[in-house]
Chains A and B, each alone.
Chain A
Amino acid sequence: MEREKSLIKSVSFGLAILFGMIIYAYGFNVTKVNFETTRSEKRLTQLSRIMRALAHPSLFVYEKEELEVMAPIYLPCPKTQVQIHNPDTSDSYLILTPNCAGPGEIITVEGYNIWPNTKGPINFLALSGVNLTIGNLQSDANGYFKAKVKLPKRQPVDVAQMIRVLPRRNIGNPEFSDVAKSTWDKIIETVFLALLATTFGTLLAIPVSFFAARNLMSSQKSPLTNVAFSTIGWPLGILIGLQTALTFKSFVIQLFVEDVLIRSSIGSVLGIGLTWSVIQWLFPKKQDQSNLRKHKIVQSVTVILCVLISILTIYMIANLALVLGQVLIEPLGPIGFVGNFISQLGDVLIMVLPAATALLGGGTLGLAGNKLGQYVSDHMSPQVIKITNICATALAGAVIGGILGNTIDWFYQLDNPQQTLYLPMSIGAILGALVSLRISHKHPIPIGYVTYYVTRTILNATRSIEPLVMVIVFVVWVGIGPFAGSLALALHTIAALAKLYSEQVESIAPGPLEAVRATGANRLQTIVYAVIPQIIPPYISFTMYRWDINVRMSTIIGFAGGGGIGFLLQQNINLLDYRAASVQMLAIAIVVATMDYISAVIRERFV
């Protein structure tokens, strides 16, 4: 029995090894492993040439001076006697042996009294004015050189043409080369690209990570009626929010047709003042809860008004920033980029405000729907509840169906409302009604799980696309350059960090969470008081890790048009200018090493 077992064991072990070998053999085959090529003479010389070029980064340039020395040559030898050329031996001179030869023949060029230890080209100056480089010189310490050159194959000419040598030497102090300067510009761009991507990616990843944390979401359940009303409320709110924002936007644009600066300044100040005073009125310093409770309707209306005024004010401020920044660029001179920054911030605000307002509207109406559903199931008679519930659930189903259909229509442009609108809506409505008939209106729907899985799926899909690929889409959208790179990196950062963060949230101690929940704290309070304090150290540590990745990534995102130093590097590699490429590699190495060091220090400090 024992022996049989060990026999089976060794056989399966042998099979496993065989199987492994087959896998690697196939791997060698598909990756075209061929060590023959690595030893071939030609490739080895090429390799050493490139390696040497890489070891000579063209960081510095010198100003050069040239010495021009010439000697006549006959190509081909004339029929008559060749004139003897007698150089002045007190100065630099050339001796050609022989001083006449046929095309393609090899002659020896010797130079005397040349600048010692210099290099330079040997040229053939044809009668036609064409200048051909036919060799290189390298003088010794005595100013002598000797080189064999091959004469070009040219039309026969009777008179003498010229061999010219141009030894060159450096004068003055070294200066940074153009390559070094452009590398410096680009490496700065690279670092800031990584910084922006990391900052914005992190800021957005934090809230997303809560939705992707199982332990926070699994307990979130809501009765069917609440979910139904909420489902109707969300898209409605998003629509209303979006519409409001766009109306305000065009209103502000009309308002600021002329005198933009003055009008937007006045508008901003007025708006801020108004908002502030309304907030003061809403939340008096002394917290008198009973007083707050009294005029609840007045309070809600004021809050909505206050929010509307704030949105309008933000538009005005954004417009002000947009214009003010542009105006400031000139007078600020060397720090004109601050003006541009202000202006861009204004633009970003104008761009994201509709989205933010839409979300706000959706959230508000979603919450209101939830409350309404709760109110209905708490205060109505069973009949009313039943009917309301069926209607609401059917409507919610129709809404979901409509949204899905619309999305499909957008992607595939079916242009067939029969199929993309009415059909999904009616299917949704029927399914909704069926659900509401099957289960009770108080049945807890695990909306937390739904949110969790949707978020996770989106995150995983996004994360699996490398930023290097993502940038291609962004390049189409915003054009080649660092902006596209930042967007791609930021998006990938959101997806990757949100996942890492959410795993940290999932591994926090459940005890404090339970304790805070037991005090009567609501969800947001629980997150602020029990979750956030626990996740700060890992969040910092993961952010630094991501910062490292982003710095590395930003150095190559230019390969795909994402700006930064990768653009230069790729260009130089394509031009076979390895000495220039070497400068960029050096810069990357220095930056990555420095950032590594800095992030290690920060991590040590905070974690």
Chain B
Amino acid sequence: MLEIHNLTKIYDGKVIAVDNVSFEVKKGEFLAVIGLSGSGKSTLLRCINRLIEPTSGQIMWNNIDITSASQNEMRNVRRKIGMVFQHFNLVSRSKVITNVLSGRLGYINPALSLINRFPQKDIEMALKQLDRVGIADQAYKRADELSGGQQQRVGVARAMMQEPEIILADEPVASLDPVLAHSIMQYLEKLNKEDGVTILCSLHFLDLVHEYADRAIALNQGQLMFDGPPKEIDDARFRSIYGQEAKRVG
């Protein structure tokens, strides 16, 4: 259970990126976050694992107050929250397997990890996760030798290495063509349905929202405009989210 109360993020004292947003996410839910670009989706997601420090508000997760957690506690919180990024964010010069293994960094002995030593069971787990996303044969290639779709699968595998309870996916398919987009979304769906991972996923296309999400929240200029099942987004709601001139496509 993730509860967000009155979350506000103001950049440099000027730009209000997230404006007093409150909502809840139940365990095992697939929640879509929609909104125009610049509406604050990335900021909202990054506030949850405090890659960005919120300006005010409270984030409670399993009775832990994330917003006031110390650095040590954050390590334990973050390792249970996987993250998938629009631009994959792989370390391009490292091997695929190293990228996947870096998902374990929150768990393993820091001293040993500094000399690139991972426990055998973690290496086996990494290969298993790569196999699960269908690119086990690429494990020892350099990450930048892979295609975009393959790189995003590495990104998903890395998040899975954390054995997460939540995955934050920030427009995971915005850099991919539609076919690949569906395959990545299906992986996320599988994680959600089979492993019971809660998923917060910001999305651009409403058809993807309708197809995969249980629930959607919508942001417009940092404010929460909608919270409910995707099918309730009718024309009026659509315009309040995307602006008066927007036309529905797809």
Contact = CB atoms under 8 A, between A and B. Distances in A.
Interface stretch (B26-34, B78-86, B226-234): B78-86
Interface in A489-539: 509, 511-512, 514-522, 524-525, 528-530, 533-534, 536-537
Interface of B: 49, 51, 70, 72, 74-79, 81-83, 85, 87-94, 98, 102-110, 112-114, 116, 119, 155, 158, 161-162
B119 A519 contact: no
Contact of B105 (A287, A514, A519): A519
The winner among A289, A530, A536 for most chain B CB atoms within 10 A is A530
A36 interface: no
A519 B114 CA distance: 15
B103 A529 contact: no
B75 A533 contact: no
A516 B102 contact: yes
Nearest to B161: A519
Contact of A511 (B74, B87, B94, B110): B87
A520 B106 contact: yes
Instruction: Bin chain A's interface residue count.
Output: 20 to 34
Nearest to B94: A533
A374 interface: yes
A380 to B, nearest CB: 14
Nearest to A375: B70
Contact of A520 (B79, B92, B116): B79
B105 A536 contact: no
Nearest to B74: A520
B215 to A, nearest CB: 23
B91 A522 contact: no
Given A533-B93, A534-B91, A515 B119 contact: no
B126 to A, nearest CB: 13
15 contacts: A287-B108, A374-B72, A511-B88, A515-B89, A516-B105, A518-B49, A518-B82, A518-B83, A519-B83, A519-B158, A519-B161, A520-B78, A521-B106, A528-B114, A537-B93
B87 to A, nearest CB: 5
Interface string A281-306: 00100010100000000000000000
A4 interface: no
Contacts of A63: none
Contacts of A516: 91, 102, 105
A529 B102 contact: yes
Contact of A514 (B85, B102, B107, B110): B85
Given A525-B114, A529-B91, 12 more contacts: A287-B108, A378-B70, A511-B85, A515-B89, A515-B102, A516-B91, A516-B105, A520-B106, A520-B162, A521-B102, A525-B113, A529-B102
Given A528-B113, A528-B114, A519 B93 contact: no
A524 to B, nearest CB: 6
A180 B106 CA distance: 62
Contacts of A520: 74-79, 105-107, 162
Contacts of B104: 519
Contact of A518 (B81, B90, B93): B81
Give the interface centre of B93, B108, B162 by most chain A CB atoms within 10 Å: B93
B248 to A, nearest CB: 32
Contacts of B112: 283, 287
Contacts of A525: 105, 110, 113-114
A529 B108 CA distance: 14
Contact of A515 (B76, B77, B158): B158
A518 B51 contact: yes
B89 A511 contact: yes
Given A287-B119, A519-B105, A524 B81 contact: no
Q: Taking each of A283, A515, A522, A524, which has the highest tally of chain B beta carbons within 10 Å of its own beta carbon?
A: A515
Interface in A156-210: none
Nearest to A286: B119
Contacts of B89: 509, 511-512, 514-515
Contacts of B82: 518-519
Contact of B78 (A518, A533, A537): A518
B90 A529 contact: no
B93 A534 contact: yes
A536 B110 CA distance: 22
Given A378-B70, A521-B106, A530 B91 contact: yes
Nearest to B115: A528
A486 B243 CA distance: 67
A58 B114 CA distance: 56
A524 B110 contact: yes
Given A287-B119, A525-B114, A528-B113, A519 B79 contact: yes
Given A511-B89, A534-B91, A536-B93, A519 B106 contact: yes
Given A525-B105, A529-B102, A519 B85 contact: no
A512 B49 CA distance: 16
Nearest to A523: B71
Of all A-B residue pairs in the complex, the 5 with the closest CB atoms, nearest first, are A520-B106, A520-B79, A511-B89, A521-B105, A515-B89
A515 B49 contact: no
Contacts of B79: 519-520
Nearest to B168: A518
Contact of B51 (A374, A517, A533): A517
Contacts of A287: 108-109, 112, 119
A335 B235 CA distance: 88
A512 B91 contact: yes
B93 A515 contact: no
Given A511-B87, A512-B89, A533-B94, A519 B113 contact: no
A399 B91 CA distance: 42
B91 A519 contact: no
